[in-house]
A and B are shown apart, each in its own frame.
Chain A
Amino acid sequence: MHQYDIIIIGGGLTGLRAAIEASESGNNTAVISKVHPLRSHSVAAQGGINAALGNAPGAEDDSWKDHAFDTVKGSDYLADQDTVDVMCREAPSAVIELEHMGVVFSRFEDGRIAQRPFGGAFFPRTCYAADRTGRNLLHTLYEQLTDMDITFFDEYYVTSLIRDKGRITGCTALNIVDGSLHGFTAKATLLATGGYGSLFARSTNAPINTGDGAALAFRAGVPLKDMEFVQFHPTTLYGSNILITEGARGEGGYLFNNKHERFMKEYVPKAMELSPRDIVARAIQREVDEGRGFEDQFVHLDLTHLGAEKINERLPGIRSIAMDFAVVDPIKSPIPVQPGQHYSMGGVASSIDCSTPVPGLYAAGECACISVHGANRLGGNSLLETVVFGKIAGESMVKGVKNISAPSIDPVKSALKAELARIDSILTRDKGENMASVKEDLKNVMFDHFGVFREEDKMKAGIKQLEKLNERLSRVVINDGGRLFNQSLIYTLELQGMLLISNAVAQGSLSRQESRGSHFREDYPKRDDEKFLKHTLAYYHDNKTVIEYSDVTLGRYPVKERVY
C-alpha cells in the first residue's frame, strides 16, 4: 500500500506543472503515468502557446482581454467566461515563468520571445519554440522536477479510483512492467490524463490518448461535460493521420480535389484555404463523400508552387513528416490529406479551481472540461490551459489537503480485490472475440457515425452498433496470459473505458439538436442559443448514460453570431 498526500495521475504538461506546485508545498506527492512522463502526448505539440505579451511588431496594444474575447468567440460562446478570464490573464506570467525555467523560445531580432499569428486570433500572440513547442515545454518542466522531492511511478496504469463515503481517497494501478497491482491512498487526487482522441479511427493524437481519466471519473460517479465537442483538423496525413500544421496553408498551400479544382472557392470564396478549421474540415469531407476525392479517401494539399527554397525554410518539419511517413516529397508532389480528430474539448467536469463535484478529486488539462474552449478550441490555447490550470490544480490540492486526515485503507483493499478479479477474468478467458478487432470497429463506428457530419438517423444507427460492441466486449480474449509488460491486457482495460465514454459522446451528440463550433448537425445546421446555450453533463447511473444540462457562465462578451 502506498500512502501520499497528493497523487497526480498523468505526467504530461498538466501533471508536471501541478507536481511542481505540490512538491514545493512540502506535501508528500506522487506522479503516476502509464508512459514515462517525457513520452506523454504533450511532447507532440507543434505550433505554440498563446499569451498577450504584445511582442510582435504592431501588436503592442494586445491585452489579455483581447485574448479572452477571441477565445470566447472561437468557442462559439459556449466557454465559461470566468475561466477564460483566468486563463488569459495568467497567460503572460505563465509564459514568462516557462522562459525563466529555461525554455528556449524562438526570438525576435530584439531578443524578446517571438509571436506568430494563429487562426482566430486578432493579434499575433502565439509563442513558440520552432515547430517543437511541446517538446521544449515538456522536457523543461521535467528537468525542473529532477531535484525535487517527488516519487514517480512510471509505466503504472491506473485502473480505478477509490470512492469512500462520497470522497475520492486514492486509486489502484497496475505496474505495466511486472504486472503487479498496487493500491494508493491520497488526500487529493488529480486527473491529468489527456484527451480521448483514440476513440476515433482517424486522429492526430498518440494512440495512448484513450480517455482513461474520463472513464475513471465516469465510473466513480463524476459527470463528464460537453463530450460531444470534438475538434477535427482538416489536414492530417493520409495513412497515419499525423498532423500537417495549419501553417502549410498559412504559407500559401492549395487544396485540390480529383478534378484539380481548388474546391474551397465553392465553400468560402474569400478566405479559401485559410477559413477556420471546422469549415475547411467539413469542405474536405464533403468533397470526399461526394466522390471528388482520391481513392475515396483524401484530397491534395499542394505546396509545389511555393518552391524548394520556401518549403525548406518555412516548413522543414512538414517536409520531413511527409517524406518519413507518406514517402512524398512536398517539393515535387502534393501531400495526401484528410480530416482527422485533433482535440477533445469535453472531459471531466471541473470548476474554476479544478475541483470536480466529488470531493478529493481534481481534473485539469485536456482530460478536463473547465470550459475554456467551449465548442471549439483555438490553436495555442490548450498548451496554455495545461500550465495555467496545472498550477491552479496544484494550489487547490495543497489547500484541499490541509486538515484532512489520512484516508482509510480498507476501501483500497476491497478495490484491489475487485480489480484483480477484473484482470483475471480477462487473462483467463480462452475463447471469444479478438480484442484488436473490437477496438478497430469501435473507432470506425465513432468516426463514421459521430465524425465531421452528424445526423439523427446516422447517430441512432451508431448507438445500435455501440450496443453490439458492448456485448462483444464482454467476450474479448487475449492470448498473452503473462504478467510481464502485457500490453494486450492494458489495451483491453483501455478499451473497456473507451466504450464506456463513447456513450457519453454519442448521447451528447444526439441530444444536442443544433450546430455549434465543432459539433455539426446536418439536420440542425443552425446554432440554437434558446435551447442549447448550455453545457451537457453526462452521468453514469445504473449502467446507463443520463444527459442533463447546466448554464454557461457568461460575462463581458455578449453572445453574437460567430463570423470571420
Chain B
Amino acid sequence: MKFKIFRYAGEQSRYDTFEIEPEAGMTVLDALLHIQARLDDSLAFRYSCRGAICGSCAMLINKVPRLACRSQVSELVEGKVKDKVTLKPYAAIEIKEPWNKEDEVLVEPLPHLPVIKDLVVDQDKFFEYYRVVEPKFKPGDEHPEKERRMDPADMAELEKYTNCILCAACFGACPVDGEKPEYLGPAALAKLYRFYIDPREKDHESRLLQANMESGWWACQFHGNCKQVCPKDVPPILAIGKARQKLQEIGETP
C-alpha cells in the first residue's frame, strides 16, 4: 500500500510516496507513525490520544477532512470505501494531485489554515474564533448550594454539541471558510449554540446576538460539509439554521 504525503517546504513543497505493508486494523495514524519511525523521521504530524477523542489529528485524507487515527487504511482504497462522503466542492480540495485510488492513500494538511510543516497547521485562527464566542458558562443566578437540576430530557440535544472535540475538521471542510477567512466557522458557532441551549444559562438571547453578524450565523451557506465530516456527529449546520430562525423571529438581523 502506498501513501502519498504532502511535504511542506515553502515554494518547494512536494509529495513523497512511501510504500508500507498494511497490517490488519492499521489506521492512517499508524501508517504515519510507521513511516516516521522507519522511513523518514523528519515527517511531521500532530497526534496525542490515538483514540479519536483529543482532536489533534484532523487532516485531509483522500481529499476529505478526517481524523487520521480514526481512518482505517483498508477502508480508504477503492472497492472497500465504506463511509462514502460526497462533499460540496471547494477550492482547497480541487487542487489536482493525481493519486491512484486503487492502492494509494493521499494525505495532506487540513485546508484553510497556514501550514507549519508537512501535515501540521497553525490553529491560532481556529482558536481565536473559539474565543470570540466567549465560550464560558454564564449561569443565571447565584450558585445554589448543590448542583443546578437539569431535566434529562433536555440533555440529548445539549450533548450533541458538547461532544465536539475542536478538531477543526469542519473548519477545513467548509467552503465558506475558504472564501471568507473572517467567518467564525462551524465549530465556534456550534460551541456558541451549546451555551445558547443550556437551560442553566442566564441570558439566552444575548448568546444568539454574540454572533449576529455577517461573519457569524449569517455567513453560512448551508453546504453541510461540516456535518458530514464531523467525527463526533456534531451537526453545526442545524445549530446555525435554528439560530437564524430564532433571530429572524425576534427581528434581529444584522
Contacts and interface: CB of A to CB of B under 8 A. Distances in A.
Interface of A: 35-36, 38-41, 43-44, 96, 99-102, 104-113, 129-130, 132, 134-136, 139-140, 143-144, 146-147, 177, 206-208, 239-240, 242-243, 321, 324-327, 435-436, 440, 478-480, 482, 484-488
Interface string B87-106: 00000000000000000000
A327 B149 contact: no
Given A102-B198, A107-B155, A140-B137, A485 B44 contact: yes
B188 to A, nearest CB: 12
A487 B44 contact: yes
Given A105-B147, A488-B36, A327 B25 contact: yes
Majority SS at the chain A contact face = loop
Nearest to A145: B136
Contacts of A487: 36, 41, 44
A130 B160 CA distance: 12
A327 B37 contact: no
B204 interface: no
Interface stretch (B162-170, B210-218, B236-244): B162-170
Interface in B168-195: none
**Top 6 closest pairs, chain A to chain B, by CB:** A102-B137, A111-B149, A480-B42, A436-B37, A488-B41, A39-B48
B54 A146 contact: no
A38 B54 CA distance: 7
A39 B143 CA distance: 30
Interface in B139-162: 139, 143, 146-152, 155, 158-159, 162
Contacts of A240: 25, 27, 30, 50-51
Contacts of B139: 100, 102
B117 interface: yes
Contact of A35 (B48, B131, B163): B48
A481 B73 CA distance: 30
A326 B25 CA distance: 5
Given A110-B149, A242-B50, 5 more contacts: A43-B54, A104-B158, A480-B41, A484-B117, A485-B44
Contact of A112 (B118, B149, B159): B149
A39 B55 contact: yes
Contact of A327 (B24, B47, B123): B24
B134 A146 contact: yes
B223 interface: no
Interface of B: 24-25, 27, 30, 36-38, 40-42, 44, 46-56, 70, 72, 74, 116-118, 120, 123, 131, 134-137, 139, 143, 146-152, 155, 158-159, 162-163, 165-166, 198, 200
A35 B57 CA distance: 12
Contacts of B38: 436
B138 to A, nearest CB: 9
Given A35-B48, A177-B116, A325-B27, A106 B149 contact: no
Contact of B25 (A106, A239, A479): A239
Contacts of A440: 37
B44 A44 contact: no
Nearest to A208: B48
A206 B149 contact: no
A96 B149 CA distance: 11
A185 to B, nearest CB: 27
Contact of A43 (B46, B53, B150): B53
A487 B231 CA distance: 26
Contacts of A109: 152
**B27, B41, B72: which has the most chain A beta carbons within 10 Å?**
B41
B8 to A, nearest CB: 9
Given A111-B149, A146-B136, A100 B42 contact: no
B136 A143 contact: yes
B69 to A, nearest CB: 8
17 contacts: A43-B55, A96-B146, A102-B136, A107-B150, A134-B53, A135-B53, A143-B137, A206-B49, A206-B50, A207-B50, A239-B25, A240-B27, A242-B50, A324-B70, A325-B51, A480-B42, A486-B42
B100 to A, nearest CB: 23
A41 B137 contact: no
Contacts of B137: 101-102, 140, 143-144
Contacts of B120: 485
A111 B150 contact: yes
Given A38-B166, A111-B149, A44 B53 contact: yes
A110 B198 CA distance: 17
B61 to A, nearest CB: 14
Nearest to B30: A240
Contacts of A144: 136-137
B166 A43 contact: no
A482 B155 contact: no
B136 A104 contact: no
Given A41-B48, A44-B49, A102-B137, A324 B72 contact: yes
A436 B152 CA distance: 49
B75 to A, nearest CB: 8
A140 B155 CA distance: 16
A326 B155 CA distance: 31
A43 B152 contact: no
Nearest to A484: B117
A104 B49 contact: no
Contacts of B70: 324
A110 B151 CA distance: 7
A113 B131 contact: no
Contacts of A111: 149-152
Contacts of B159: 104, 130
Contacts of B118: 485
A136 B118 CA distance: 31
B116 A435 contact: no
Nearest to A144: B136
Contact of B51 (A36, A106, A242): A242
Contacts of A480: 41-42
Contact of B147 (A113, A130, A242, A435): A113
Contacts of B47: 207
B232 to A, nearest CB: 9
A478 B44 CA distance: 14
Contacts of A242: 50-51
A36 to B, nearest CB: 8
A239 B50 CA distance: 12
A96 B134 CA distance: 22
Contacts of B158: 104
Nearest to B152: A107
Nearest to B53: A44
A129 B156 CA distance: 12
B143 A100 contact: yes
A151 to B, nearest CB: 15
Contacts of A435: 41
A162 B115 CA distance: 34
